[in-house]
Amino acid sequence: MKTLILLRHAKSGWDDHGARDFDRRLNPKGERAARTMGQHMRDRGLSWDHAIASPAARVVETLEQVSAGYGRTIEPEWDRRAYLASASMLLDLIHAAPAEADTLLMSGHNPGLEELVLMLVPDRAGDGLRDEVETKFPTASLAVMTCDGENWGAIIAGKCSLTVFTRPRDLDPGLGPDAD
């Protein structure tokens, strides 16, 4: 059994209209949401053995803020292939994760992260968490799945269970979409 933690980058801004998408930075609300999510992860006792992340500025800053809230530095394997990756590319990165890692933290972008959850977790009637992900996987949201398999290469579509889905607004209503 393996545990996969997916964390979408926090809310970024378009203040510098000349900046490349890759270089977009978090806005103040995104910084606060990421710190809040880090505190939540700590309070839930979530930990990881290995991390993989997109090297985009907004992901780097998200992990810095999550680390500040959590109280533990996240030192991911920065992988350019995770930048705006499809669900199948993200699954390829998961398959290559170190065998000795039981829990993997992956941080990146949508729509890939949302599509990865929907690929790995079967669509069953009454699965409210999966339905919430299908509705929207907002910025700074966290999904935790347990997956059948003794190694990361064995993780396949439809063989995971979604155990946690937390949006920033679930922790602080001021972080919701209407609170901009």
> How far is Cα 3 from Cα 79, in angstroms, rounded to an integer?
20
Among candidate residues 101, 84, 82, 88, the one with its CA nearest the CA of residue 149: 101
Write b or e for each residue in 141-163: b if 16 or more Cβ atoms lie within 10 A of its Cβ, otherwise e.
bbbbbebeeeebeebeeeebbbe
Closest Cα partner for 145 from 33, 46, 38, 39? 46
Residue 58 assigned ligand-binding role: yes
* Annotated binding-site positions: 58
* Annotated binding-site positions for substrate: 58
